[in-house]
Structure 1
Amino acid sequence: MKAVIFAKPSERLPGKHLMDICGQPMIKMIYNIFVDSSFFEDVVIYSKYESLDISGVNIVKDHSKGTIIDSLISALREFKEFFAVAGDIPLVDREIIEKIMIKYNGFPIAPINTDGIIEPLFAIYNDSILDEMVTHSQKDKRIFSFLERKFILVRLEPIDSVKLYNINTLQDYIDAKKKIRC
C-alpha cells in the first residue's frame, strides 16, 4: 500500500507545507515519518502546487479541480489503494499510523477524533468505493456523509486525536512547534 500525502496551496496560511519544523519543511517531516514507519511500499506527495520541489521526496502532480473529494477520486484512479494523509499534521507519529493500519481489513477505514469529526485525510481508501464516491461527488462535494455511510469508523482516544492537529494559521504553527520535540 502507498501513503499519499495531500498538499494544496493554502489561502489561510500560504506556504504552510514548506514551513520549517525541526530544520526541514513540515511536509518532508511528515513524509519521513511515513517512510520510517515501514508500513508502506511507497510514500508520495500528491500536490496541487504549481511548483513543489523538495529534495528526496516522490511528488506526483494532482491535476484535479475542486475540493478534497475531487483530489481523493483522482488519487483513487491513480493509486487504487492508499493511506490518505494531510500534509499539515506535524504531530503525527508511527503509533497513530499503526492504530489505523492494524484495523484495515480491505474495507475503507477512517478515524473519528474526540470532537466527533471524521478525518478524511488520515484514512485508508481503495477502489471498491470509487464508483459510489464519484456518484456522491456529482450531488454533494462534502465528503463526510459519504465517509459515514461507506467507511469503517474508528474512534480515537484524546491522546491520538491531538496527533492529527492541522496547521491552518500562524498560531497553529507556533503551537505545534512548541509540542514537537526535535
Structure 2
Amino acid sequence: MIAVIPVKWSSRLPGKHMLPLRGRPIVEIVYRKVSDLMDCVVLSKYEVSVPYEKDRSENILDLVSRLMEEYSDGFMLIGGDMPFFLREDIATILRAGQGTGASPTTPVGPEPMFTLYRPCALKVRRLSDYIVGCRYRQVSASSLSPLALFNVNTPEDYLRARAISSERPDLIL
C-alpha cells in the first residue's frame, strides 16, 4: 500500500503546506509520520521541503481518478495540511479497508483527504461520491484521535494549529 500526500494551491491560505509548526513545515510533519509507516509520494503543485513529484492534475478529483488507474491495490490519500493525526489513525483506516476502501465519517460526511481508496469505475463530481458510491467502509471519526482530521485551511486554522503544537508537541514528533 502506498500513501499519497497531495499539495495543492490554496486561495484561502497560500503556501499553507510550508507554514512552520515548531520550526518544521506542515508538509514535512505529515511526510515524516507517513513515511515511517509506509511508502509514500508527495504530489505537489509547487516546491516543498520534502521529496516530491510534480502534480500535473487539474484538480483533486482528477488526481484521485488517475491514482485509481495507477495503483490497482489502492492508495491512502492523506492531506498535506493535516499535521495532527497519529500513526494509529492510519492503521485504523488500513485495517478497516482490507479488501475495500475505508473513510472516516464525521457528522457532515466522509473525510476524503484521509481515505483509503480502492479502484472504482464510477464517474463522479466529488471525492465523497467515490466513498459512498463504491461502498467504502465508514470509520467513525470518533474512533480516531481527537485531532486526526484537523486541517489547516485558513489563517485562523493556522493560529489554532500553532497553539495546539505548542500545547501538544508530541503530536508533531
TM-score scaled by structure 2?
0.86
User: Secondary structure at 2:152's aligned position in 1?
Assistant: coil
Question: Unaligned 5+ residue runs, structure 2?
Answer: none
Q: What's the CA shift string for 1:97-128, capped at 9, x where partnerless? A: 12112222120111102x2320111111122x
Asked if 1:65 corresponds to 2:64, the answer is no
Residue in structure 2 matched with residue 79 of structure 1 by the alignment: 71
Q: Equivalent pairs: percent with the same residue?
A: 30
- 2:116 corresponds, among 118, 124, 137, to 124
Q: Is the 1:62–1:74 Cα contact (8 Å) retained in structure 2?
A: no
Residue in structure 1 matched with residue 42 of structure 2 by the alignment: 45
How many angstroms apart in 1 are the aligned matches of 2:69 and 2:22? 34
How many angstroms apart in 1 are the aligned matches of 2:20 and 2:11? 18
CA gap of 1:78–1:145, structure 2 versus 1, over 3 A, is closer
Q: Report the Cα offset of residue 89 of structure 1.
A: 0.7
User: Secondary structure at 1:163's aligned position in 2?
Assistant: coil
Q: Is the 1:43–1:58 Cα contact (8 Å) retained in structure 2?
A: no
How many angstroms apart in 2 are the aligned matches of 1:53 and 1:78? 23
User: Secondary structure at 1:101's aligned position in 2?
Assistant: helix
User: Secondary structure at 1:123's aligned position in 2?
Assistant: strand
CA gap of 1:53–1:169, structure 2 versus 1, over 3 A, is closer
How many angstroms apart in 2 are the aligned matches of 1:62 and 1:101? 25
Q: Report the Cα offset of residue 75 of structure 1.
A: 2.0
Asked if 1:107 corresponds to 2:91, the answer is no
Please show how residues 1-182 of structure 1 align to structure 2 within 5 Å. 1-36=1-36, 38=37, 40=38, 42-47=39-44, 49=45, 51-54=46-49, 57-66=50-59, 68-80=60-72, 81-113=74-106, 115-127=107-119, 129=120, 131-132=121-122, 136-137=123-124, 141-150=125-134, 151-157=136-142, 160-180=145-165, 181-182=168-169
Aligned residues between the structures: 165
Q: Report the Cα offset of residue 91 of structure 1.
A: 1.0
Q: For the aligned residues, what is the CA RMSD?
A: 1.8
Q: Is the 1:17–1:25 Cα contact (8 Å) retained in structure 2?
A: yes
Q: Report the Cα offset of residue 6 of structure 1.
A: 1.0
CA gap of 1:79–1:22, structure 2 versus 1, over 3 A, is farther
TM-score scaled by structure 1?
0.82
Q: Report the Cα offset of residue 161 of structure 1.
A: 5.0
How many angstroms apart in 1 are the aligned matches of 2:68 and 2:147? 27
Question: Unaligned 5+ residue runs, structure 1?
Answer: none
Q: Report the Cα offset of residue 11 of structure 1.
A: 0.3
User: Secondary structure at 2:156's aligned position in 1?
Assistant: helix
How many angstroms apart in 1 are the aligned matches of 2:34 and 2:148? 14
CA gap of 1:155–1:74, structure 2 versus 1, over 3 A, is same
How many angstroms apart in 2 are the aligned matches of 1:152 and 1:126? 11
Which residue identity lines up with residue 43 of structure 2 in the other structure? Y
